[in-house]
Structure 1
Amino acid sequence: MIRMLLRVLGHEYAQPMRRTVALLTTTAMVEGLSYALLVPVLRALFGSRPADTRPWLIAFGVVVALYAVLRYRSDLSGFRVGTVLLRGMYRRLGHHLARLPIGWYDAGRVGEVSVLASRGLLQAMGVAAHLLAPFISAGVTPLTIVVVMLAFNWQMGLAALVAVPVVAAIQIWTGRSMAASDVDSAERGHEATGRVIEYLQAQPVLRTGGRTVERFQLLDDSLQEVQRASRRTTISTLPGAVGLTLAVQAMFTVLLALGAHLALGGRIGAVETLTILVLAARCADPLLSLSDIGGKLRGARAELARLDTVLRTEPLPQAPEPIRPVRHDLTFESVAFRHGGRTVIENLSLSVPEGERLAVVGPSGAGKSTLLQLLARFHDVDAGVVRVGGVDVRAIDTEVLMARIAIVFQDVYLFDGTIEENVRLGRPDADETEVWAAATAARLDEVIERLPAGWASNVGEGGALLSAGERQRVSIARALLKNAPIVLLDEVTSALDPVNEAAVHESVERLMAGRTVVMVAHRPRTVRRADRVVLLDGGRVVEEGGHDELLRRGGRYADFWRTSATTVAG
């Protein structure tokens, strides 16, 4: 557990955690030693000279005071380390997630990452603040007391020592027997979280289709599975809890019988016997608490394991000596890319000279959007090379590459903040004049003027408070503010009404001016603005050339164009 925690924390946070563990261990040992002083105190108190109790009482008071100081320091250290770890691990997890390949984020990751980044991380990092102290105390304090018992009477100390492997075996057996239940509970929890998110996001579709009752049943079934898994987990804890209780009670009974036997035989005094039994009773409470602490630690360990798995997922490799491109032409050289068990791009070669506008068209699933993602290095190719300015994108520092590329997607995601904050994501250090100029060029100023709060208007989660056209204008303004030399456009007007489409086209024209552009397009108006057109099908370049030239050839592009024009007209 501790080893995994230190591995997950990394070098930066491992040392403070080690110091906290050492302090907690020392505190637990001092607590055990303080109980040990009860032996001379009681021996003097019930002996022939009760006055001899005074120095032992003073020593007992000093040790208790020392324990109180250490307990305060260790608990405070645990809370501080826990707070620092939580903040640091949020940063580390966020940074790592931002570096993982986009392909890692499949649909099944939504619920998993959501739980991990909220409840999971809190539970895992709460170990330092809430679980380490009672866990170490429950283990170290009884062991210290057993050592003291050995020093006073080896027979009773040895009898108490026999209980150590028994308690350890019960804890190990309980942990192993509950492993399957813990995994099942976690899986059901993640599935239920995904169902809740799915149910909330699908409300418009479900209501228009009149399927809310059926869909609610699916969610209800998922939540019932969570309840059943929780019940199975609770039932599986009972044998371990009962076994631990019986083992502790049996140990105390054995010590009581052994102490009576030794006292009756005159090999130990009644006072020593009573004192050792008091110490044994004091061992019982922390040992019995191991059952509850163990369950919480197993839950934290499971979250740590999931966090460890995510953090050990390899991000896209970075070049040890990155190269900075000086040009902005784009090249695909015999590129192949596979995803989800199928070939998306196959042996594709293509070049886009600096300043040229290339339109990429083709049927759904042809690999058009993937082409843009490979340029932005959202994925690494399986074969071939993608170059920007003559440099392999894998040899370019990620920040340098991203600084050269502005991307406008069809589905725009805006962060829950103001319009200005979302536009400034393009270049946070831009001054107000530059931000307003970008907004005006994107015709976002028209949107701002009709909103009551203007620039300060909140867009809602994902931009839900704005229309699709308004979100697209924010996205284009963001790209304009970034002022990158390469622009990637992914069907930016395919879902817009005619008024918004005209406004967005005008904005896109300003965005493309003087830049190298690759745009996935379906609309005739967009394709005609390109210097060159490429038709993709099955991940291959089927035809390429100018729009009018390809129409005159009467090949696949001409057929595709006629079909597209008919669909748009219809």
Structure 2
Amino acid sequence: MIRMLLRVLGHEYGGPVRRTVALMTVTALVEGLSYALLVPVLRALFGSTPGDAWPWLYAFGGAVAGYALLRYVSDRSGFLAGSTLLRGTYHRLGDHLARLPIGWYEGGRLGEVSALASRGVLQAMAVIAHLLAPFISACVTPLTIVVVMSAFNWQMGLAASAAVPIVAGIQMRAGRSMAATDRERHERDHEATGRVIEYLQAQPVLRAGGRTAERFRVLDDSLRDVRRASRRTALSALPGVVGLALAVQTMFTVLLALGTYLALGGNIGAAELLALLVLAARCADPLLSLSDIGGQLRGARYELTRLDEVLRTEPLPKPTDPVQPALHDLEFESVTFRRGGRTVIDGLSLSVPQGQRLAVVGPSGSGKSTLLQLPARFHDVDGGAVRLGGVDIRAIDPDVLMGQFAIVFQDVHLFDGTIEENVRLGRPDADEADVRAAATAARLDEVIERLPGGWSAHVGEGGARLSGGERQRVSIARALLKDAPVVLLDEVTSALDPVNEAAVHEGIERLMAGRTVVMVAHRMRTVRRADRVVFLDGGRIAEEGSHDALLSRGGRYAEFWDVSLTPTASE
């Protein structure tokens, strides 16, 4: 567990962790050794001169006080180490997630990472702050007590020692038997969490369909799976809990019988017997707590394993000798990209001269959005190369590469902050005049004027307090402020009302002016603003040329154009 923890965190944290473990171990040893003073205390109390017990009582009180001080210091060290490790884990996880390709986050990983970064990291780091001290105490203190018992009576010590391998064997067997059920329960928990979120997000659809009184079958099935998995986990834990309790109680009964036999034979005094039985009873509580602590440690280990898997995911490789592109033309050279065993882009070659606009058109699933993502290196291609200014984008430093692109997609995400903070994400060091100019160019100033608080108005989580058109204006203002030479543009007006559509189109025109542009067009009239049009089908270029030239050919593009002009065409 500790080795995995250090592997996840980095070995620079090894020193504090080892010191904390050593301090907790010493504390558990002192606790066990302090109980040894009970023997002379009771021997004096049961002797002819009970007053002789005072020095031993003072010694016992001093030992308990010393143990209490050590316990305070070790617990405090554990909490401090835990908080340090928690902060370090968040920093390391955040830095690593920032270096993973954007495409890695697809396929439901957002929910997984969200759960891992919240509950998962806290549970994993609880090992140092909350679980390690009681676990070490449950292991070391009973062993120390067994050594103390052996020092006073070897028969009692030997009998107590026999319980050590039995308890260890029960714990190991219980851990192995519960590993599979623990894993299943965690998986069901994560799945149920996703279903709950899905159920909440689906409320508008369910209510529109008049199904508010019905149970959500997918969620119900998921919750039933959680219940069944929890039941199996509880049942699999019973043998270990019962076996541990029986072993501890049997050990105490054997010690009681053996002590009685030895006392009757005159081999041990009543005071020593009482003291040794008190020591044996003191072993029971920490040993019985091993079942609960073991379950929590297994849960923490599971989260550590998941965290380790994420941190072991290879980020996009950085070039050893990065090249700075001097120009801003784009070139796709025999590009092939696969996802999930399917070829999305198949041997595609095209170029976008600097300052020109390329429109990408095609049916759903033809690879348009993927093609738009490749220049910004959301994914690495499986074959061929994407070049910016004649330089393979894999040879450009990732930070420099992202600085070359202004990206505006249909799905706009805003952070829960003010409008100004969201706009400044484009260029945090921009002066106020540049921010205001970008907002005016995107016609965001109209939105700001009518919002309470103006620039200081909070947009809510994900921009929930703004309409779709208002969020798009923030996104365009952000891109304008960034002032990047290349624009990657998804059709952003397909779901907007006419007023917002006109404002967004105006902002987009200003954004594209004089820049290299690749835009995915869902509305065919958007294509007229492009210098060249590419029609994709199955990840390949079916047609290529200007808007007018493609119309005159009467091919696939012309069919799309005709459909877009019909009254029933989806705008």
TM-score range (shorter-chain normalised) is: over 0.9
What's the offset of the Cα at 1:99? Answer: 2.5
Tell me, yes or no, if the aligned pair for 1:110 and 1:194 is still in contact at 8 Å: no
Tell me, yes or no, if the aligned pair for 1:9 and 1:85 is still in contact at 8 Å: yes
What's the offset of the Cα at 1:114? Answer: 3.0
Whole-Å separation in 1 of the counterparts to 2:60 and 2:470: 74
- Equivalent position amino acid for 2:183 in 1: V
Instruction: Kindly indicate whether residue 301 of structure 2 is the aligned counterpart of residue 312 of structure 1.
Output: no
Tell me, yes or no, if the aligned pair for 2:9 and 2:92 is still in contact at 8 Å: no
The unaligned stretches of length 5 or more in structure 2 are none
* Structure 1 runs (4+) greater than 6 angstroms displaced: none
Say which SS state the counterpart of residue 37 (structure 1) adopts.
helix
- Equivalent position amino acid for 1:143 in 2: L
* Aligned twin of 1:6: 6
Q: CA RMSD in A?
A: 2.0
Q: Residues 357-393 of structure 1, C-alpha deviation per residue, up to 9 Å, x if partnerless?
A: 1111111111111011111111111111111222222
* Aligned twin of 2:487: 487
Query: Which deviates the most, 440-449 or 493-502?
Result: 493-502
- Equivalent position amino acid for 2:12 in 1: E
Whole-Å separation in 2 of the counterparts to 1:226 and 1:569: 42
What's the offset of the Cα at 1:107? Answer: 4.0
Once the two structures are superposed, the pairs formed by residues 371-520 of structure 1 within 5 Å of their partners are 371-520=371-520
Tell me, yes or no, if the aligned pair for 1:544 and 1:550 is still in contact at 8 Å: yes
Whole-Å separation in 1 of the counterparts to 2:46 and 2:120: 54
* Aligned twin of 2:212: 212
Whole-Å separation in 2 of the counterparts to 1:526 and 1:351: 20
Whole-Å separation in 1 of the counterparts to 2:404 and 2:464: 29
- Equivalent position amino acid for 2:105 in 1: Y
The unaligned stretches of length 5 or more in structure 1 are none
- % same residue: 78
Tell me, yes or no, if the aligned pair for 1:124 and 1:303 is still in contact at 8 Å: yes
Tell me, yes or no, if the aligned pair for 1:358 and 1:531 is still in contact at 8 Å: yes
Whole-Å separation in 1 of the counterparts to 2:252 and 2:279: 10
Once the two structures are superposed, the pairs formed by residues 218-237 of structure 1 within 5 Å of their partners are 218-237=218-237
Once the two structures are superposed, the pairs formed by residues 331-410 of structure 1 within 5 Å of their partners are 331-410=331-410
- Assess, with a 3 A threshold, how the Cα gap between structure 1 residues 181 and 13 changes in structure 2: closer, same or farther: same
What's the offset of the Cα at 1:569? Answer: 8.1
- Equivalent position amino acid for 1:71 in 2: R
* Aligned twin of 1:330: 330
Tell me, yes or no, if the aligned pair for 2:544 and 2:550 is still in contact at 8 Å: yes
What's the offset of the Cα at 1:49? Answer: 5.4
* Aligned twin of 2:130: 130
Tell me, yes or no, if the aligned pair for 1:199 and 1:215 is still in contact at 8 Å: no
* Aligned twin of 2:239: 239
What's the offset of the Cα at 1:101? Answer: 2.7
Query: Which deviates the most, 82-91 or 484-493?
Result: 82-91
* Aligned twin of 2:527: 527
Say which SS state the counterpart of residue 358 (structure 1) adopts.
strand
Whole-Å separation in 2 of the counterparts to 1:187 and 1:235: 18
Once the two structures are superposed, the pairs formed by residues 34-113 of structure 1 within 5 Å of their partners are 34-47=34-47, 50=50, 52-113=52-113
- Equivalent position amino acid for 1:456 in 2: S
Whole-Å separation in 1 of the counterparts to 2:320 and 2:46: 75
Say which SS state the counterpart of residue 216 (structure 2) adopts.
helix
What's the offset of the Cα at 1:511? Answer: 0.6
- Equivalent position amino acid for 2:384 in 1: G
- Equivalent position amino acid for 1:260 in 2: T
* Aligned twin of 1:187: 187
What's the offset of the Cα at 1:48? Answer: 5.2
Instruction: Kindly indicate whether residue 256 of structure 2 is the aligned counterpart of residue 256 of structure 1.
Output: yes
What's the offset of the Cα at 1:40? Answer: 3.0
Query: Which deviates the most, 325-334 or 138-147?
Result: 325-334
- Equivalent position amino acid for 1:62 in 2: G
Whole-Å separation in 1 of the counterparts to 2:95 and 2:570: 46
Query: Which deviates the most, 26-35 or 108-117?
Result: 108-117
Whole-Å separation in 1 of the counterparts to 2:15 and 2:357: 54
Whole-Å separation in 1 of the counterparts to 2:215 and 2:468: 27
Instruction: Kindly indicate whether residue 546 of structure 2 is the aligned counterpart of residue 546 of structure 1.
Output: yes
What's the offset of the Cα at 1:446? Answer: 0.8
* Aligned twin of 1:22: 22
- Equivalent position amino acid for 2:319 in 1: A
The alignment covers a number of residue pairs equal to 570
Whole-Å separation in 2 of the counterparts to 1:115 and 1:525: 43
Q: Residues 200-220 of structure 1, C-alpha deviation per residue, up to 9 Å, x if partnerless?
A: 112222222223344524323
Query: Which deviates the most, 448-457 or 165-174?
Result: 448-457
Q: Residues 75-119 of structure 1, C-alpha deviation per residue, up to 9 Å, x if partnerless?
A: 111111222222332232233223323333234334433322222
Tell me, yes or no, if the aligned pair for 1:491 and 1:520 is still in contact at 8 Å: yes
Say which SS state the counterpart of residue 375 (structure 1) adopts.
coil
